[in-house]
Amino acid sequence: MDISTKPVFSFSLNYKVFEKLVTCGKYDGIHSCLTMVTTADKILIHTPHKRYGLQNSKLSISEIKNDIALLNMNFPIRAIVAGRLKKDDERDVLVIGSPSHVLAYHVDENCNMFQRDFHEGVRSAVIGGYANQPGNTLIVGGNAVVRGYNQEGTEVLWLITSGSVVSLLLIDIDKDGQNELITGTDDGCIRIYKKEALLHEFTEGNEIQNLVALRTGQFMYSVKNGTIGVFEENVRMWRIKSKARATAMATYDILGCEAKQMIVGWKSGKIDVRDPRTGDVWFRMKMNDFVCGIACNDYRGIGLLDLVEILSNTSESNLVQSVPDNVGIIPSNTRLQIGISTSYDSNDMNIDITVSTNNSTTIRAVLIFADQLFKEETLIAHLTKDVSRILIPLKTLKDNAQDIHIKAFVGYPSSVQFHVFELTRQLPKFAMYTIPHNLTGSPKSVYEVKII
């Protein structure tokens, strides 16, 4: 799809911001404010509409720009989220999580709503309706635990999980009119809870970094190993794996077709607009720095939602090596051939993956990605000599069918730049088993059935 996009506004904050520590709130009930964690345990609040005139020991106004306010927290910040917590108050509160406690802060009044000890260490937080509680509930995830608090700070929910809860989402997954709680942990598990009961559990094999609602009954997720995907109720609709890592996700109708698309920001600075039904990329945008947050709000105050992308200032975008144009050129008919077989001649059984090319090009390296098949989910075969065929032995821990994603670097012996072939193959069920060649004669065991 050939689409050209350009920003309607852009500005520099002149502050360093951190991945995932980005939110947006209407602290006066009207104006949207970008809120981000910056260095020295400070929280930056940017609004082009409201000026914060009151200052205290916690809130200060930037001397450089009066549309920026800084919150001095004086403790490490691990999670932030903004949302309505009081039932009869249109103003959002800012929730700040630290390794030792969780704080609900009223920005508009410059005061604490409540502060509670959280010895498990806060890693994530979300605000929304849950489990028939009056008003909204603040749900906080930490090391192997999830706690919920009402607007007074009273604990109303307590769950034990495995791993550290690094992402949370409230969504009506079973379409019964009530929100369920979805947790993502650093041990690669996605769990869906209804009140205190566990409904479903899925394993992705690495840290679940983002959980974002698409629509009722449907959500998207990203994994630390580069996987993104979509679940509808308890069924995974699709997933793909990239060599980069998704750092931010959101939904927004950027095409103006009255249906929201997936917006995925990557560590590489790329931003994808994808079809939620299939994961197909409709178009891409390339930024100069990596995307550390995406917010959808009426930031200009004109009654329309804006897609706001927050980029982090890094020098990584300048680290691009220049090479001649003709380096890495291979014949257009080059094909990568994959063979899967079971090893016959070894007492130590394994699966042999054969990777070869159909011409004189050589294979410099092969990368194989698979969930829970290798440590860190990736196997790298780097060759010390130039060959057109490589055999890679594998072992599987389970007898289930499993998809493996293969990337091969193909070129010539003098190449410094290589063409990357990407293929997906499925290891069949019971792939580790084979019939031995020395099986001769009749079976020694018999089973007799007498019919009377």
Let me know the angle formed at the C-alpha of 296 by 194 and 21, rounded to the nearest 5 degrees.
70
Residue 105 within any structural domain of the chain: yes
Percent above pLDDT 70 for the chain: 87
Per DSSP, 107 falls in state T
Model pLDDT, residue 82: 96
User: How far does CA 390 lie from the centroid of its chain?
Assistant: 33
pLDDT of residue 26: 92
Position 402 pLDDT exceeds 90? no
In-domain check, residue 246: yes
Q: Are residues 48 and 169 in the same domain?
A: yes
Q: Is residue 8 part of a domain?
A: no
Q: Are 135 and 87 contacting, i.e. CB atoms less than 8 angstroms apart?
A: yes
Look at residue 316 in the predicted model and tell me its pLDDT. Answer: 34
Average pLDDT in the chain: 84
Is the domain of 140 the same as that of 173? yes
- Cα separation, 110 vs 27, in Å, equals 10
The tens digit of pLDDT for each residue in 230-281 reads 999 889 999 998 888 999 999 998 888 888 999 999 998 899 999 999 999 9
User: Does 18 score more than 80 pLDDT?
Assistant: yes
Q: What percent of the chain clears pLDDT 90, i.e. is strictly above it?
A: 39
Same domain (yes/no): 289, 340:
no
pLDDT of the residue at 437: 62
Summarize the confidence of residues 385-410 as an average pLDDT: 83
Asked whether 29 and 23 are in contact (CB, 8 A), the reply is no
Q: What is the mean pLDDT of residues 19-46?
A: 90
Q: Which of 367, 360, 413, 420 is nearest to 388 (CA)?
A: 360
58: pLDDT strictly greater than 90: no
In angstroms, the CA 124 to CA 160 distance is: 15
Residue 328 covered by a domain: no
* Residues 149-189: tens digit of each pLDDT: 999 999 999 999 989 999 999 999 998 989 999 999 999 99
DSSP H helical segments within 42-197, as ranges?
Answer: none
Q: Are residues 264 and 370 in the same domain?
A: no
Rounded to an integer, the average pLDDT of 411-432 is 82
Question: Does the pLDDT value for residue 61 go beyond 60?
Answer: no
- Angle 165-193-24 (CA atoms, 0-180°, nearest 5)? 55
Burial class (CB in 10 A: 0-12, 13-18, 19+), 80: buried
pLDDT for 405: 86
Q: Is the pLDDT higher at 444 or at 89?
A: 89
The 10 Å Cβ neighbour count of residue 381 is 16
Q: Which of 166, 196, 164 is nearest to 181 (CA)?
A: 196
Same domain, 211 and 274: yes
Q: Is residue 439 part of a domain?
A: no
Note the pTM of the prediction, 2 decimals: 0.69
Domain of 389: which CATH number? 2.60.40
Higher pLDDT, 250 or 16: 250
How many domains does one find in the chain? 2
Span 71-99, mean pLDDT? 92
65 and 106 inside one domain:
yes
Does 49 map to a domain?
yes
Examine the domain organization and report whether 301 and 376 are in the same domain: no
Q: What is the dihedral of CA 387, 388, 393, 399, to 10 degrees?
A: 160
- Mind giving me the DSSP string for 413-442? TT-SS-EEEEEEEEEPTTTT----TT--S-
295: CATH: 2.130.10.10
Q: Which residue has the higher pLDDT, 415 or 77?
A: 77
Of 339, 358, 330, 313, nearest to 419 by C-alpha is: 330
Whether residue 62 is predicted with pLDDT greater than 60 in this model: the reply is no
Q: Are residues 21 and 127 in the same domain?
A: yes
| Spatial CB neighbours of 309, under 8 Å, sequence gap ≥ 6 | 248, 265, 271, 287, 291, 293, 294
Q: Is 298 a member of any domain?
A: yes
Place of tokens 């192997």: 144
Q: Which residues pair with 313 in a beta bridge?
A: none
Instruction: Please indicate, yes or no, whether residues 291 and 341 belong to a single structural domain of this protein.
Output: no
Among 381, 423, 405, 23, residue whose Cα is nearest residue 227: 405
Kindly state the DSSP code that residue 428 receives in the 8-state scheme: P
Q: How confident is the model at residue 335 (pLDDT cuts 50, 70, 90)?
A: confident
Q: Which residues touch 312 (CB under 8 Å, ≥6 apart)? A: 16, 17, 18, 19, 289, 290, 291, 292
Residue 59 has pLDDT above 90, yes or no: no
Please indicate, yes or no, whether residues 273 and 346 belong to a single structural domain of this protein.
Answer: no
pLDDT value of position 348: 67
Q: What is the domain extent for residue 154?
A: 17-312
Same domain, 301 and 158: yes
User: Is residue 146 a part of any domain in this protein?
Assistant: yes
Q: What is the pLDDT of residues 122-134, one digit of tens each?
A: 999 999 999 888 8
- pLDDT confidence tier of residue 321, bands split at 50, 70 and 90: very low
User: Residue 315's pLDDT is what?
Assistant: 37
Which two tokens mark 248?
């931010």
Looking at the fold, whether 231 and 354 belong to one and the same domain comes out as no
